[in-house]
Structure 1
């Protein structure tokens, strides 16, 4: 990994207790910093850019900006890098065990638009759903049930939202809710 990366694991249920979920990490990259070329196989990586920008070094080298979601299916394997733009990057990376081992690698970007501040992101899999909301200052939105990751100006946390009431989040914040098939997968360690 390059200098200029701070990574904090928020959720890491390697025992299969969260179905396909392997890890959710909060990453901060200084301008021009990256992860270094690294390999993935048989994992889906879902990146939510909270602020800044990130250039993905595979699949056409798309640039993801705040609010965008990148969905990387590593499939049979690929080597890639991600590098922060001139404004750095603050992002959430979620790793999911693949549903279809041996598939061809692929990458797509779901672009954020001002008209769609909240909603479901189609991940193309039945065992994991992602809902995202970008909540403006002093607005309160209802949040669906599931594993919540909330990012405010000051901090990022996973789990229940403290002191704001069940199912509601007040901005400014970005909220990600993961609904996961919690059936214990075959690969899970007891």
Structure 2
């Protein structure tokens, strides 16, 4: 049973052409053998892109990529014929399967977004794509599963995931609101906005994260308006 807090200021940072990326785990030129992932989560990048900045066409294979926009707008296109405009409140999942090329570029005034990767349950599948506007679902202030491959969420989640041991939950909390984290062997909590008090881990501010390794749920209480991204994982790489 453990809780490991990771502060925003301790992230690896990659300044790129039109985008600055802050990494939760080893990524690109940054390598820490003690921080290559957590549970099934191998990438959790918080990116800020200038207008028309982001990621031009590039390839992926056998990875589930989930994108959550915090501000601005992001345009997605891929070689499997999928495309869409991503705004705050819209969640996207791209399953790269046996191979796909895609791009994500900021439109308008730019964008801030979080991209998260987990491996698929089985390699070599057909590429696929899903997105949904979950704004109305989040209005109640609870912890809402928005992308999931867990059996208990089948037919009751906005977007499916090709990893049957993981789910992403989102909470938009008002001051004083509290939620209970899922009970799972691996739970990753990332504060995208505001601040919250997390049972056994203390205060988390914007950009902070905590990694729980145990079976017990924890209570998170918002200090002000706050948003959380919570990965529930029942396996590890």
TM tier, smaller: 0.7 to 0.9
Q: Report if the CA contact (8 A) 2:25-2:37 is conserved.
A: no
Match of 2:165 in 1: 127
Gapped regions of structure 2 (runs ≥ 5)? 1-14, 27-31, 150-162, 195-204, 212-217
Write the distance in 1 (CA, Å) between the matches of 2:173 and 2:117: 24
Q: Report if the CA contact (8 A) 1:2-1:36 is conserved.
A: no
The 3 A distance-change label for structure 1 pair 18 and 29 is same
Q: Deviations over 1:28-48 (max 9, x none)?
A: 111221212110000000111
- Give the paired residue count: 179
Matched, 1:51 2:76: no
SS in 2 for 1:19: coil
More helix by share: 2
Match of 2:188 among 133, 136, 147: 147
Two-structure CA RMSD over aligned residues (Å) = 2.6
**Structure 1 residue ranges (4+ consecutive) displaced by more than 4 angstroms after TM superposition:** 12-17
Write the distance in 2 (CA, Å) between the matches of 1:95 and 1:8: 14
Higher relative contact order (CA 8 A, sep 6+): 1
The structural deviation recorded for 1:2 is: 6.1
TM-score in terms of structure 2 length: 0.67
Q: Deviations over 1:8-63 (max 9, x none)?
A: 11245988873322111111111221212110000000111111111101243200
Gapped regions of structure 1 (runs ≥ 5)? 161-165, 186-190
| Pairing of 1:1-190 with structure 2 (within 5 A) | 3-12=17-26, 18-58=38-78, 59-117=81-139, 118-124=143-149, 125-136=163-174, 138-145=175-182, 146-152=187-193, 155-159=206-210, 167-170=219-222, 171-183=224-236, 185=237
